[in-house]
Amino acid sequence: MDSSKGLHSFSIVGLPDKAVQESIDRIASSIRNSNLFPHSSKNKKIIVNLAPADIKKEGPSYDLPIAIGYLLESGQIKFDPSGIVFAGELSLDGSLKHTSGMLATALLAKELGFSEVIIPHSNAKEASIVSGVRVIGAKTMLEVISHLDGTNVIKPFEYSEADVGDNSDQDLAIFHIKGQEMAKRALTIAAAGSHNILMSGPPGSGKTILAKSLIGLLPPLSFDEAVEVAKIYSSMGLIRDAGLSFQRPFRSPHHTTSAPAVVGGGTSPRPGEISLAHRGVLFLDEMPEFPRSVLESLRQPMEEGTITVSRASGTIILPAKFMLVGAMNPCACGNFGDDRHQCTCMPQSVMRYRKKISGPLLDRIDIQINVPRGTLDDKPTLENNSDSGLQMRNNIKLAREMQNNRYRGRKIYSNSELSYKNIDEFCHLTSSAESLLRSALTAKGLSLRSYHKIKKIAQTIADIEQSEEIGENHVAEALSLRINEKMFSEVF
């Protein structure tokens, strides 16, 4: 910031957007209502430079640092600004409003070696997650000034781990669903290894209920995973006076949702549904009804775990390690293959309907199962299964713990994240299992991607059974969970 004698003016340079430009009037009113002298009270030429000059600055988080910088430069307050980061939106009365992206601000401040972050009080809980930096939450600009001059020092907000726990209190809705034992087993395996899953079946078979009940099976987020998710939600302003959440996200966009809303985008690139589902579940109900552009845009993030969004204003790489859960009918009327209801679709229309999900996308979905109609004679699993629901959830938790120990230090959290570079290092098959898998690869004409995915599913099944090696039975069950080779051939 620079000031010089001359006619009154206040300029902000460095590619500021409209929100930053409008901060001039907010700052002036905030300073005036805090019983201080705003820039408009003196004939001075003031220039605020936002560096680096070639990167566009956006958002209201620059209000507080610009105001404090002016007060310091004009001599109305005195303090040592070294090691302190300011961020936050100002109201006209001098109060600090909730501002998006404060968690990312605190993480960046720690990375750059700053010792203190001063932000709005409503953001203090989310930013206190970051250790190694003092988080000061202030309600007004006067509180910030009193803290800086030592008149009334604000105590740093301390993060408490009292709320950390698992999701054991969540209802195990999946075990109250009648029948569908194969689908429940498939969802259990998917939850244990974070595998993508597609359920195909007639209307009313319970696909949507099964998908929504999956959240009760998933283990809570680890601390590092929770921080990753919180950064995304903080940047969108979706964290309101809340701390770290360990519940996995569950996003279910409608089939009319546009491609930019799903993958991210806009004039200034923002996270979409796949980033909001990071480390959680992205559920696509009536999957063939989604536009082809939306479905095909999922192929890269499903494979790489990130999405690159390029716009004229810039390029941004967003995290997108999500678990895709899809549900679809076998045809437009929904009755193809049903023994009790007649399908009214022509074979060509059935093929056309199924081809809305392309082969390359289908090949990226680990588990693909059929979900038949249930009957009144079916009973909930808890009534006819010797293993309780809590025991099944515990098996999933133990399987995840095996994976955490196996991939410690690799930034890999589940079997589904293994790549062709390291799958042979971690997945060890017995000779009979390897022979069965190779025979299936040749007989069914599976791609090498399918070969790797079957190995990962088999590894998850072995983890559920606490087995160190992948056996022939694990491979056999993994093969039974992939039906994509029948998707187009069974119509005629």
Per-residue model confidence (pLDDT) at position 443: 87
Mean pLDDT of 485-491: 51
317 has a pLDDT exceeding 60: yes
Digit-coded pLDDT (tens) for 224-260:
889 999 999 998 888 876 667 888 999 999 999 999 9
Please check whether residues 365 and 428 belong to one and the same domain.
yes
Examine residue 160 and state whether it is found in any structural domain, yes or no. Answer: no
384 has a pLDDT exceeding 50: no
Higher pLDDT, 316 or 262: 262
Digit-coded pLDDT (tens) for 158-196:
887 654 444 444 556 677 777 788 888 999 999 999 999
Please check whether residues 184 and 279 belong to one and the same domain.
yes
Examine residue 154 and state whether it is found in any structural domain, yes or no. Answer: no
Examine residue 347 and state whether it is found in any structural domain, yes or no. Answer: yes
The answer to whether the peptide bond before residue 52 is cis (omega within 30 degrees of 0) is yes
Query: How does residue 483 score in pLDDT terms, banded at 50, 70 and 90?
Result: low
Q: Shortest CA distance to 198 belongs to which of 262, 286, 121? A: 286
Candidate from 86-90, 108-112, 213-217, 321-325 with smallest mean pLDDT: 213-217
CATH of the domain at 8: 3.30.230.10
Query: How does residue 487 score in pLDDT terms, banded at 50, 70 and 90?
Result: low
Examine residue 190 and state whether it is found in any structural domain, yes or no. Answer: yes
Please check whether residues 401 and 347 belong to one and the same domain.
yes
Please check whether residues 88 and 202 belong to one and the same domain.
no
Distance of CA 119 to the CA centre of its chain: 25
Per-residue model confidence (pLDDT) at position 490: 54
Examine residue 458 and state whether it is found in any structural domain, yes or no. Answer: yes
Please check whether residues 422 and 297 belong to one and the same domain.
yes
Digit-coded pLDDT (tens) for 64-123:
999 999 999 888 999 999 999 999 999 999 999 999 999 999 999 999 999 999 999 999
For tokens 């546009």, name the residue.
Answer: 258
Please check whether residues 438 and 304 belong to one and the same domain.
yes
404 has a pLDDT exceeding 70: yes
Q: Are 184 and 177 in contact (CB under 8 A)?
A: yes
Query: How does residue 446 score in pLDDT terms, banded at 50, 70 and 90?
Result: confident
Per-residue model confidence (pLDDT) at position 429: 95
376 has a pLDDT exceeding 80: no
Dihedrals φ, ψ of 410, to 5°?
Answer: -105, 0
Three-class SS of the chain = CEEEECCCEEEEECCECHHHHCHHHHHHHHHHCCCCCCHHHCCEEEEEECCCCCCCECCHHHHHHHHHHHHHHCCCCCCCCCCEEECCEECCCCEEECCCCHHHHHHHHHHCCCCEEEEEHHHHHHHCCCCCCEEEEECEHHHHHHHHCCCCCCCCCCCCCCCCCCCCCCCCHHHHCECCHHHHHHHHHHHHHCCCEEEECCCCCCHHHHHHHHHHCCCCCCHHHHHHHHHHHHHCCCCCCCCCCCCCCEECCCCCCCHHHHHCECCCCECCHHHHCCCCEEEECCHHHCCHHHHHCCHHHHHHCEEEEEECCEEEEEECCCEEEEEECCCCCCCCCCCCCCCCCCHHHHHHHHCCCCHHHHHCCCEEEECCCCCCCCCEHHHHCCCCHHHHHHHHHHHHHHHHHHCCCCCCCCHHHCCCCCHHHHCCECHHHHHHHHHHHHHHCCCHHHHHHHHHHHHHHHHHCCCCCECHHHHHHHHHCCCHHHCCCCCC
Examine residue 361 and state whether it is found in any structural domain, yes or no. Answer: yes
Please check whether residues 312 and 426 belong to one and the same domain.
yes
The dihedral built from the CA positions of residue 243, 244, 250 and 251, taken in this order, carries a sign that is positive
206 has a pLDDT exceeding 60: yes
Mean pLDDT of 463-485: 88
Percent of the chain with pLDDT over 70: 91
| Ramachandran quadrant class, 265 (left: phi over 0; alpha: psi -120 to 50; beta: rest) | left
Mean pLDDT of 12-28: 91
Query: How does residue 316 score in pLDDT terms, banded at 50, 70 and 90?
Result: confident
Mean pLDDT of 277-291: 95
Higher pLDDT, 317 or 488: 317
Please check whether residues 398 and 345 belong to one and the same domain.
yes
Please check whether residues 98 and 232 belong to one and the same domain.
no
pTM of this structure? 0.85
Please check whether residues 412 and 464 belong to one and the same domain.
yes
386 has a pLDDT exceeding 80: no
Q: Are 92 and 33 in contact (CB under 8 A)?
A: yes
Query: How does residue 211 score in pLDDT terms, banded at 50, 70 and 90?
Result: very high
CATH of the domain at 240: 3.40.50.300
Residue type, 432: S
Give the C-alpha separation, 325 to 280, whole Å: 10
Dihedrals φ, ψ of 441, to 5°?
Answer: -60, -40
* Mean pLDDT for all residues in the chain: 87
Per-residue model confidence (pLDDT) at position 176: 74
Per-residue model confidence (pLDDT) at position 318: 92
Please check whether residues 255 and 306 belong to one and the same domain.
yes
Examine residue 351 and state whether it is found in any structural domain, yes or no. Answer: yes
**Which domain, by its residues, includes 32?**
2-148
Number of domains in the chain: 2
Query: How does residue 390 score in pLDDT terms, banded at 50, 70 and 90?
Result: confident
Please check whether residues 12 and 91 belong to one and the same domain.
yes
Query: How does residue 372 score in pLDDT terms, banded at 50, 70 and 90?
Result: confident
Examine residue 49 and state whether it is found in any structural domain, yes or no. Answer: yes
